[in-house]
Chains A and B, each alone.
Chain A
Amino acid sequence: MVNWVQTYLLRHLQVFFYSLGQLTRSPFSLFMTSAVIGIALALPTGLHLVLKNMQTISGDLDSAVQISLFLKKSTTDSQARQLASQLRGMPQINNIQYISRKQALQEFKRLSGFGNALKALEKNPLPAVIVVQPSLSDSNANSTQRLVEQLQAKPYVDIAQLDMQWIKRLYSIMDIIRRGVVILAGLLALAVLLVIGNTIRLAIQNRRDEIVIIKLIGGTDRFIRRPFLYTGFWYGLFGGLIALLLVISSLLLVSGPIEALTQSYDSQFSLKIIDLNSTFWLIGGSILLGLIGSWVAVERHLREIEPT
């Protein structure tokens, strides 16, 4: 029994490396097919990783909910400062930042690039703003909403605005992209199946005589199928590795500019290239596609080849 299992495993191992040997005899076509698979898989994988990175950024933003209080234009600087110090005493509020009308204008000039256009204006159009950071201890949506209403009722406050709208929007945009990635991944997986299926079909046709001979001397379908399945395995593995290489090099290429961008937002964000889990899924999925593709091709075409 043990001997039989040993022989069986040994035979599989032989076919495993035999099929690799067959493939490496024509390295160029091996590379071409693997590259097609690699490119097809790199696209959804890359998008998936970009999404993942966006989630970490937006996760940081989530805790950074802030309320902007736009003050009435008639409010004097001292009235505003008084309000600010009053707010600072409230327990629901963690931090306060007061931006006077003058500061707001300067900041706007600096960041917007409309400096010269603003010079044409006679009056400063911008209101003073108090940026309120709610304390983190009770930062659920309801209590935040109550705080907003409370602040709205304060004197001098024109509009109290919760800066969460854009985060919600970002989330829905990401949701759309996520679904797009799933659809894209499905379509490209289908393309990979077709590529591998077609390659295996050609391999079967090239070895038609050999298959006939093996059938004549008593080879089972399983025996004949085995090398083709391993061929599909190798295509999947090499395709997956090429996809991994493409994804890593593409992300490394954009990581420099992205870090420069995030630094300008004072963010500690650093681009995550690819983690072990995603690598596992990419390579494993690619191998699985290779096996399925070759299985389908072998099932379809092996029966057609019979000795006559």
Chain B
Amino acid sequence: MIRFSHASKRYPGGFDALQDINFHLSPGEMAFLTGHSGAGKSTLLKLIALIERASRGEVIVNGQNLAKIPRRKIPYHRRNVGMIFQDHQLLFDRTVFDNVALPLVISGLSHQDIGRKVRASLDKVGLLSKERSYPITLSGGEQQRVGIARAVVNKPPLLLADEPTGNLDPELSREIMAIFEQFSQVGVSVLIASHDIDLINHLPYRILTLKNARLSNDTAPASVENQKW
């Protein structure tokens, strides 16, 4: 689903955010991306979402070499990548329903389809009763779940999450992770950037560790299986 081959990112001014990154994430696989602040987690996710482009090497997502996607095709690429953000990135002047519906409105779905899919998505994150609320009236955990519902509403094959539990307490964080697990079980690839070592060490998933812009460690899920909480 995602393949990095010798991918590097150098920002103008000579700062190397990522150097010679190699890894492969299979369809339906769930993995964590960890490392200190500034190690390059966010940059790696940005390369996948085409917010940034690799300076060298190849990034292939869903069989497509991202270097070959022209600027005007980027929106169509992003529709296949569900993104979840630490600060949720919700529109506060629109209801929960309208927020979740946005990707479908962009894709030009009919009214009936939108209603059906939005409710299915909100149901998955347990927020069906809040569809008429405005995001500001929701708790942090609920807002994050709205963000997840929006990311998955058009059933992308890949989910990216950048510190999705950054502002949440441990219990809410585990709830959010459980939602991601459900999606990976139905075949969605999930890549979660997180520095919450305590949380991810207790989960039976692959962990990619970035250190000084390089991939320093790639632990298979088997090694942590016995630590399952």
Interface residues of A (CB under 8 A from B): 3, 6-8, 10-11, 209-210, 212-221, 223, 306-308
B78 within 8 A of A: yes
> Which A residues are CB-close (under 8 A) to B51?
216, 306-308
Whether B76 contacts A7 by the Cβ 8 Å rule is no
B75 within 8 A of A: yes
B116 within 8 A of A: no
Which of B51, B106, B109 neighbours the largest number of chain A CB atoms within 10 Å of its CB? B106
Could you tell me the distance between the alpha carbons of A10 and B106 in the complex, rounded to whole angstroms?
Answer: 13
Whether A217 contacts B91 by the Cβ 8 Å rule is no
Whether A218 contacts B78 by the Cβ 8 Å rule is yes
Could you tell me the distance between the alpha carbons of A307 and B78 in the complex, rounded to whole angstroms?
Answer: 12
- Can you list 26 A-B contacts (CB < 8 A)? A3-B110, A7-B108, A7-B109, A10-B110, A11-B105, A11-B108, A212-B89, A213-B91, A213-B102, A214-B106, A215-B78, A216-B89, A217-B106, A217-B150, A217-B151, A218-B76, A218-B78, A218-B103, A219-B106, A220-B72, A220-B76, A220-B106, A221-B72, A221-B75, A223-B75, A306-B51
Q: Which of B78, B109, B110 contacts A216 (CB 8 A)?
A: B78
In whole Å, how far is B229's beta carbon from the nearest beta carbon of chain A?
Answer: 33
Chain B contact residues: over half helix, strand or loop, or mixed?
helix
> Which B residues are CB-close (under 8 A) to A308?
51
Interface positions of B from 48 to 103, Cβ below 8 Å from A: 49, 51, 72, 75-79, 83, 89-91, 102-103
Interface residues of B (CB under 8 A from A): 49, 51, 72, 75-79, 83, 89-91, 102-103, 105-111, 150-151
Could you tell me the distance between the alpha carbons of A55 and B42 in the complex, rounded to whole angstroms?
Answer: 71
Chain A contact residues: over half helix, strand or loop, or mixed?
helix
Could you tell me the distance between the alpha carbons of A213 and B93 in the complex, rounded to whole angstroms?
Answer: 13
In chain A, what residue has the closest Cβ to B107?
A218
In whole Å, how far is A136's beta carbon from the nearest beta carbon of chain B?
Answer: 67
> Which B residues are CB-close (under 8 A) to A220?
72, 75-76, 106
Q: Which of A8, A214, A216, A306 contacts B83 (CB 8 A)?
A: A216
In whole Å, how far is B9's beta carbon from the nearest beta carbon of chain A?
Answer: 14
In chain A, what residue has the closest Cβ to B89?
A213
In whole Å, how far is B49's beta carbon from the nearest beta carbon of chain A?
Answer: 7
> Which B residues are CB-close (under 8 A) to A214?
102, 106
In whole Å, how far is B113's beta carbon from the nearest beta carbon of chain A?
Answer: 9
Whether A217 contacts B108 by the Cβ 8 Å rule is no
In whole Å, how far is A24's beta carbon from the nearest beta carbon of chain B?
Answer: 15
In chain A, what residue has the closest Cβ to B113?
A7
Could you tell me the distance between the alpha carbons of A65 and B92 in the complex, rounded to whole angstroms?
Answer: 74
In whole Å, how far is A121's beta carbon from the nearest beta carbon of chain B?
Answer: 85
Whether B79 contacts A218 by the Cβ 8 Å rule is yes
Could you tell me the distance between the alpha carbons of A6 and B89 in the complex, rounded to whole angstroms?
Answer: 31
> Which B residues are CB-close (under 8 A) to A8?
108
Which of A10, A210, A217, A220 neighbours the largest number of chain B CB atoms within 10 Å of its CB? A217
Could you tell me the distance between the alpha carbons of A209 and B89 in the complex, rounded to whole angstroms?
Answer: 8
> Which A residues are CB-close (under 8 A) to B90?
213
In whole Å, how far is A7's beta carbon from the nearest beta carbon of chain B?
Answer: 5
In whole Å, how far is B105's beta carbon from the nearest beta carbon of chain A?
Answer: 8
Q: Which of B89, B106, B110, B151 contacts A7 (CB 8 A)?
A: B110
In whole Å, how far is A235's beta carbon from the nearest beta carbon of chain B?
Answer: 21
Q: Which of A7, A10, A219 contacts B75 (CB 8 A)?
A: A219
Further contacts, 6 of them, CB under 8 A, given A216-B51, A223-B106: A11-B108, A210-B91, A216-B89, A217-B83, A218-B103, A219-B75
Whether A10 contacts B78 by the Cβ 8 Å rule is no
Whether A218 contacts B89 by the Cβ 8 Å rule is no
Check A215/B75 contact, CB under 8 A, given A210-B91, A307-B51, A308-B51. Answer: yes
Could you tell me the distance between the alpha carbons of A8 and B214 in the complex, rounded to whole angstroms?
Answer: 46
Could you tell me the distance between the alpha carbons of A216 and B75 in the complex, rounded to whole angstroms?
Answer: 8
